[in-house]
Amino acid sequence: MDILTRAELEQLMRKEQQWCVSIYMPAHRSGPETQQDPIRLKNLLGEAEKHLSARGVSTRDVQEMLEPANKLLQDYDFWQHQSDGLAIFLSSKGVHHYRLPLDFEQLVVVIDHFHIKPLLPLFTGDGQFYILALSQNEIRLLNCTRDSVSEIGIGQIAGSLTDALSPDDPQVSLQLHTSGSLGGMSGDSSVTFHGQGGGSDESAKNELLRYFHLVADGLTEFLQGEQAPLVLAGVEYLLPIYKEANRYPNLIDMVIKGNPDLLSADELHKSAWDIIGPRFQAAQEEAVAQYQQLAGQASERVADTLEKIVPAAYRGRIETLFVATGVPQWGVFDPVTNEIELHDQIQADDEPLLDLAAVQTYLKGGVVYTMEPEKVPGGTSAAAVLRY
């Protein structure tokens, strides 16, 4: 499981003025289906090769561009640590690949920039959330959507309080890296204090607080720029100590109490969704109500046309954006002149303007909600509440 950060998304959005290959495919976490995933990618790479050749790219350049992805075909470990979907982006500058909790349909797109529309569900207001499961035996970070959960490996410190606070290395820091493997259940429900401190309750708490500062610092750096909410899970007395150390701005108050070592990733996900789901729904309803109130007042802080929304998204003026799903809107936008041209059918150099507005809103710190067309406030394909 990989994390697609805000900075990486912004990099993918940059036009490279050359041919770019975007590949999306479903993937499998385990079972015999994992053996079919490399075959599926091989076929998609063959399709990409045909597209590039048809656009006049030389055989040598095609081979060089696709070589990093071809190497993945023989990487056994890579295919054993997948999520629900795999996204691969190739250009003459290199390759980016992400194992993500999205069930992609097979797709190959070759244009002069990367095709990011299938990634949009990760960046909506109700797109994803995290669970941080705390115990003195291990720390588990899970990335979740409404329907899926993937565990992200944490650190090279053996996962325990004793190892993290080793007296031989008091300056040890938490290193975060991505991993597709799911953590197993532990049968030991007891929790004991370890390390230095003389055995008193106060020194034990200080030891835990020091440990959790390492965790919090690493987590905050890893999730830098993320807006997704974070739910804590752990034995009750550990939770306030972690909250004291926490630096991630989107930690929510409600928690999952109990020893998370005894819970699978799916069980933690279910408990967290009971907390997060109503919050997502309430936030969306509140955002719609705000739009309707401002629209009723004929406020200049609302917009319901792409001629207003797209430039506002690029300028960082959108606070909340509502976008209809399944409604393609092709056109061209010039960010220098703010001129926009809409087309009923895709033409050369066209871009999916609704998707671009959504991504730009997210990159500039706004909130995006995707919804059925009939639910978009104002009755259009997109509507926005502006910051000013």
Out of 61, 95, 118, a domain closes at 118
- Can you give the CATH number for the domain in which 359 is found? 3.30.1330.30
| Same domain membership, residue 76 and residue 154 | no
All residues at 6 or more sequence positions from 166 whose CB lies less than 8 Å from its CB, including other chains: 172
Rounded to 5°, the CA angle 181-184-186 comes to: 155
- Can you give the CATH number for the domain in which 209 is found? 3.30.420
Q: What is the pLDDT of residues 202-227, one digit of tens each?
A: 887 888 898 888 888 888 888 887 88
Helix then strand then coil, in percent of the chain rounded to 5, is 40, 20, 40
- In tens digits, the chain (388 residues) has pLDDT values of 677 887 888 888 877 668 999 999 999 988 777 889 999 999 999 999 999 999 999 999 999 999 999 999 999 889 988 888 999 999 988 899 999 988 899 999 998 889 888 888 888 888 889 999 988 778 889 989 888 888 886 654 335 565 655 545 444 444 443 333 333 333 333 333 333 444 567 887 888 898 888 888 888 888 887 889 999 999 998 999 999 999 999 999 999 999 999 999 999 999 999 999 999 999 999 999 999 999 999 999 999 999 999 999 999 999 999 999 888 889 999 999 999 999 988 887 888 899 899 989 998 989 999 999 999 998 999 999 999 9
| Same domain membership, residue 109 and residue 138 | no
Q: Are the CB atoms for 302 and 386 separated by under 8 Å?
A: yes
289 within domain boundaries: no
Q: Is 27 left (phi over 0), alpha (psi -120 to 50) or beta?
A: beta
DSSP code at position 177: -
| Same domain membership, residue 230 and residue 158 | yes
Residues in the chain: 388
Q: What is the pLDDT of residue 157?
A: 34
Q: Is 298 left (phi over 0), alpha (psi -120 to 50) or beta?
A: left
| Same domain membership, residue 155 and residue 266 | yes
Q: What is the pLDDT of residue 178?
A: 35
Out of 118, 143, 177, a domain closes at 118
330 within domain boundaries: yes
State residue 330 phi and psi, 5-degree precision.
-95, 150
Helix/strand number for the chain, H first, E second: 10, 16
Q: Tokens standing for 119?
A: 């990634």
| Same domain membership, residue 160 and residue 273 | yes
| Same domain membership, residue 88 and residue 24 | yes
> 24: how many CB neighbours lie within 10 A of its CB?
22
| Same domain membership, residue 67 and residue 197 | no
Name residue 199's amino acid: G
| Same domain membership, residue 91 and residue 37 | yes
145 within domain boundaries: yes
| Same domain membership, residue 155 and residue 106 | no
| Same domain membership, residue 21 and residue 100 | yes
Q: Are the CB atoms for 20 and 114 separated by under 8 Å?
A: yes
- Can you give the CATH number for the domain in which 65 is found? 3.30.960
98 within domain boundaries: yes
Q: Tokens standing for 161?
A: 């309080």
| Same domain membership, residue 184 and residue 84 | no
The range of the structural domain enclosing residue 28 comes to 6-118
DSSP code at position 74: T
288 within domain boundaries: no
| Same domain membership, residue 78 and residue 12 | yes
Q: Are the CB atoms for 304 and 378 separated by under 8 Å?
A: yes
What is d(CA 307, CA 339) in angstroms, rounded to the nearest whole number?
Answer: 8
All residues at 6 or more sequence positions from 379 whose CB lies less than 8 Å from its CB, including other chains: none
Q: Are the CB atoms for 375 and 329 separated by under 8 Å?
A: no
CA-wise closest residue to 149 among 231, 227, 218, 80: 231
347 within domain boundaries: yes
Number of domain units in the chain: 3
